[in-house]
Structure 1
Amino acid sequence: MGRAAADVDVLVVGAGPVGLAAAVHARAAGLDVLVVDHRAGTLDKACGEGLLPGALRAVQALGADPPGHVLTGISYRAPGRHADHEFTAGPGRGVRRTTLHEALRARAADVGAHRTCGRVTVLRQDAAGVEIEVTPGRADDGHPARDAADGDAGTAGAPITVRGRWLLGCDGLHSAVRRLAGLDVRPGPGAGRGAGRPAGSRYGLRRHFAVTPWTDLVEVHWSPHAEAYVTPVAPDLVGVALLAPRTVTGAGFDTLLRSQFPELAARLSGATATGTVLGAGPLRRRSRRRTAGRVRLVGDASGYVDALTGEGVRVGLAQADAAVRHLEDAEAYERAWRTVTRDYRVLTTGLVAWASGPARGAVVPAAARLPWLYGAVVDRLAR
């Protein structure tokens, strides 16, 4: 049976930084774009909020330049020991996730990408395009025939159908597109409840503290069971992200901070905690492929190792560029995806394996004893 002509050239599901970057690239290629996300307004996420030099340059190349706090390098720290390395490729920037989102959302709107709010519940495709059913919510723009079946942009209603020539799934760790396109890696036979989330699965927690940053470095504090990432994001604000297995993060942010990082907790004891604690996880995600017909998975939706190296934004932005360049060639995108994620996958997998084993306590001492190797890894990831 024939299908109707596409409503747009490219459907982007997910309005985080990666989805918005994909929309900007698609508009630069002369394509009509609709961004769909079940969340309205400015989006936040539990993350380290550090744009390493390569990520900052990629954001600026998109035409956005969000304000924040200069980052000059990374410091690995443990009680009585630390290893510091300053970036050789120029500075990075600590940027609130909400600030980054606002800057990229404004840029996407400026170049003519449309956005609507709704949850994707059905995905169908044929040789000519991809069709999704969206349960609408509040729309961010007044794009005609996109907001709701009856044109009422302010209320939710019955599912609407939208069709595009291509679909980019940029909807994060818990990607609905990955699931609906049949690209999830599922647990094997006999797996019970909770399968796919092994005991060692890592989770993240993040909150902010109103305090003047005491360093221009991203501090990574190591304890026996967790890491704490301290990122200055404004002249009077630092973000603290904690990463650990669920058995550890389940204690809650404050308990985890005090029990695993007493020196850091003491430094922050006089600071006011701002906002709420946000969580994310499990972090490890896999996909069978990054492509299925006219669907492309991009960013965390395509697979994720861990936040330990702080590279998520840079790698996601590189994937967004590659996905748009290779819309017509699935295999070319698969090759490009492997190329732009290779360093991240290899180095992060290796470091997580080291940090999860009996040699975890040697990470910071090794970095301090071998500054040339530590610096080379930092610069490779930050470039």
Structure 2
Amino acid sequence: MTAITALTACNRSQNNATQAAPTPQVSVLKLHPQPVAVTAELPGRIVAFLEAEVRPQVGGIIQQRLFTEGGEVKAGQPLYQIDPASYRAARDSAEAALQRAQAAIPSAQAKADRNQTLIKQNAISRQDYEEAIDALAQARANVASAKASLDTARIDLDRTTIRAPISGRIDRSTLTPGALVSASQSTALTTIHQIDRVNIDLTQSSANLLNLREAVDPGRIVTTNGSVPVKLKLENGSTYAPEGRLEFGESSVASGTGTYTLRATVPNPRRLLLPGMYVRAIVEEGTVPQAYLLPQRAVSRNTRGEATALLVRSGKVEEVELANAREHGNDWLVTQGLHDGDALIVEGTQQARVGDTVAATEVILDAATGKVRALPAAKPNSAAADAKDPAKTTQQRS
């Protein structure tokens, strides 16, 4: 009897404890759809906007270098001077040949005019007349040939001064004064890079391209018809301030890597970006018209590895699978399985289980710190406050 009495007392105390257990308290964040820009972070390399290798177009001995290595040069600025003596002599010879050819023109012209008069009088044969006309034509051809030879000699003489083909920053010189160079040699004398703005060659996998196209076709993502902005992250983790623009994408996929190349152009006024530098570019692929942003702290994964979240609907906890969810900064971007006004549990998930009745308190999330903050208190209505204060009401009436 004593044992039965003690057992009955224990059962009553457990029932009382169960009946007195408090309702789990959770903090919820109200979800509302909004347009969200979809971005992709792609690796890339800096490429000079313009690049020119400087090579000689005539052969000879380099007399002097006329630029400062590593400095800025302007298009047309002299860079090297090749010994011009032989080319100057060739020009003078071409000028003399032109004068000799021009000197033969007057006599040939006079003979042709005279024979033209005589042929009308039948004083000379037709053959003599034609020979005089041919001699005049040959003399004029000799003058044209001599002019062309003179132009060639002048061009070769001018090319003894090697000039910058473009403006930009020039590299070191591979040869020094006294070196022998030849026309169109394989070794470049130096290289000029124009880097006041630079190109960025970005690579993206073909699988991501297919996923984007599949999202664009049904309208889940709306692409930008105009220019696409590009932001850069440098090797040290800092963000590059000037914003670039996407120029084009190649029309083929590399068979070896399964990637295709995009090219963007970015301003580089401070010459901070140098060719060959590694960067990561954030490219805006399009906009999701109706999307939900869920903080990462409120999203977990089930045993199948699918992203899930806990919601409070009709006062009870429900688990929702987030199909096709993707990371978006510090949040998850979700387009399926949610409704406007859903209450997402951001605190108290350890105390609440699926199917439990919970007491939800709405909160807001600080976007900068990610911390949960209570909703600001609503300001009391002035009329209601006056009604609660009889003294103030009496004073107003008086």
* TM-score, reference length from structure 2: 0.19
- Higher-RCO chain (CA-CA 8 Å, sequence separation at least 6): 2
**Structure number having the greater strand percentage:** 2
* TM-score, reference length from structure 1: 0.19
